[in-house]
């Protein structure tokens, strides 16, 4: 998606991949979803096991 560290040029058209596809999105539900996902990440980062260990545990059915 972004190949270089330099900023985009000014006044260039917005790429289709950055444009919103849903015109009637429920912002409150999206906000709640993002908050819950971030909270899950916080729990993983604060746990005593590493992220890789968590992934392996979930694959084993713990």
pLDDT digits (tens, 9 = 90+) for 4-54: 788 878 899 988 888 888 878 788 998 999 999 999 888 877 776 666 666
Instruction: Answer yes or no: is pLDDT of 1 > 60.
Output: no
| 47 Cβ neighbours under 8 A, 6+ residues apart | 54
Instruction: Answer yes or no: is pLDDT of 61 > 60.
Output: no
Each domain of the chain, given as residue ranges in start order, spans 29-62
Do residues 51 and 44 lie in contact, with contact meaning Cβ atoms separated by under 8 Å?
Answer: yes
Instruction: Kindly report whether the global pTM for this prediction surpasses the value 0.85.
Output: no
**Burial status of residue 54 (CB atoms within 10 A of its CB: 0-12, 13-18, 19 or more):** middle
In this structure, the number of other CB atoms found within 10 A of the CB of residue 44 comes to 13
What angle separates helix 51-60 from helix 27-46, to the nearest 10 degrees? 100
């Amino acid at each position: 998606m972004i190949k270089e560290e330099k900023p985009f040029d000014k006044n260039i058209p917005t790429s289709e991949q950055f444009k919103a596809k849903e015109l009637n999105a429920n912002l409150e539900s999206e906000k709640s979803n993002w908050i819950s996902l971030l909270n899950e990440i916080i729990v993983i980062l604060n746990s005593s096991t590493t992220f890789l260990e968590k992934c392996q545990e979930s694959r084993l059915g713990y």
